[in-house]
A and B are shown apart, each in its own frame.
Chain A
Amino acid sequence: MKHPVTEHDAALLDSWLDGQLEPGEARALGQRLGVDAGLEREEAELRRLFQAFELGKVEVREGFADSVMARLPQRAKAGRLAVALLVAAALAGLATAVALLSGGGVPTAGSLVATLGDFFGTLLLAGAGLLGASWRGVGEGVRSFLALSPANVAIAVGVSAASALLLVSLLRRRRAVAAERARRNGLD
């Protein structure tokens, strides 16, 4: 007659076959297996189950890793290096062109750097002037708008408050999305 093993013994056998039992527990179980036919039968069935898992496995095709490696994209670092080189080449070309057009003859390395400095300095000053003028224009416009009617002040306050709320909610949403992404460890 077949005697069923207790759930505790079944759990012990299960852990043992899955390599989860401490050495001392495993030794004690091994000793009991030799004298308990029911336990031995249970062990044999469970062992076959573990073996059956192996039967369900497939061999990975030869060349799998080679195929993956052949499809790897260039890392972004290489891309960034290419962009940096392109920018450097464009700057050098620009400086040479400016130096030649300004009639300074064949430029030297020093004169190229000086020309580039002049060029970007002028660009910066012009940009700053434009920006200042733009802000002054915006300031003038707002002042005229507010001076027209007291209701315009209320409208301006309302628009400012709504913009601030929108900004805060966008920041919160962005933080929630970042947290979710972090939870999934960086992958969508």
Chain B
Amino acid sequence: MAGMAQKTDEELVTAVLGGDEDSFRDLVLRYQSRVVNYLQRMLRDVEEAHELGQEVFLRVYRALDRFDHSYRFSTWLFRVAQNAAIDRIRKRRLKMVSINRPQTGDSEGGEWEFESADPTPYQNARNRERAGAILEAIQGLRDEYRELIELRHFAELSYEEIAELKGMPLGTVKNKLFRGRQMLKGVLADFLTD
């Protein structure tokens, strides 16, 4: 049934502007995980990613009547998220946070916890080790590769969305993602071979 089909982002935006506030909840639910994970990658702080993630959605809501429908909503949303994260990083520039800080597991939800189908303690430890290593390796990439890797694998944007957001040709996005992943594979060789 056509009426039951999931609304597009743009349809939801139009509905919100028409006074249907619940449609904004649908947008939040649709993007919350991607926004928080993207911010978490940029800020390297789960708490802060949640807090700034809420702020990003509020900014988007306030500016919704200025949304240019010739852009994709997702591209716009992640541009807002990117700008917000960059502002936040600038503000705390002197307060360096190490990615290797001890994992105490006392933060709500567990910072590097992830769902796994009944993992053994060894698998858990190995996965945690891999997660820490991949995040550190991404951080070590040059900005031009790191940004695209984050947008692809944490914000889960399509190649086309990344090209629009970064103002790059599609071929360049594809090439840089390939190069970035090859670099990561080189750095993480020990973790990727069993």
Which residues on A are within 8 Å of B, measured CB to CB?
A: 10-11, 14-15, 18, 20, 45-46, 48-49, 52-61, 64-65, 67-69, 71-73, 75-77, 182, 184-187
Return A53 CB to nearest CB of chain B, in Å.
Answer: 4
Set B29, B62, B113, B191: member contacting A48, Cβ < 8 A? B191
Q: Is the CB of A64 within 8 A of B191?
A: no
Number of B interface residues at 8 Å Cβ cutoff, please give it. 63
Nearest to B53 among chain A residues (CB) is A64
Contacts A67-B54, A68-B54; A56 near B134 (Cβ below 8 A): yes
Q: Which residues of B contact A (CB under 8 A)?
A: 19, 21, 24-25, 28-29, 32-33, 36-37, 40-41, 46, 49-50, 53-54, 57-59, 61-63, 65-68, 71, 76, 79-80, 83, 108-109, 111-115, 127-128, 130-131, 133-135, 138, 152-154, 159, 174, 177-178, 181-182, 184-185, 188-189, 191-193
8 Å CB contact of A68 from B28, B115, B191: B28
Closest Cβ of chain A to B84, distance in Å, is 10
* Residues of B close to A53: CB separation below 8 A: 134, 153-154
**Is the pair A55, B134 in contact by a Cβ cutoff of 8 Å?**
yes
> Which residues of chain B come closer than 8 Å to A46, judged between CB atoms?
181, 185
Is the CB–CB distance between B37 and A186 below 8 Å?
Answer: no
Q: Which of chain A's residues have a CB closer than 8 A to the CB of B25?
A: 65, 68-69
A73 touches B134 (CB 8 A): no
Tell me if A184 and B36 are in contact (CB < 8 A).
no
Which of B46, B62, B80, B191 is A73 in contact with, Cβ under 8 Å? B62
13 contacts between A and B (CB under 8 A): A15-B178, A18-B152, A45-B185, A49-B188, A49-B192, A58-B49, A60-B36, A68-B58, A73-B62, A182-B68, A184-B79, A186-B67, A186-B68
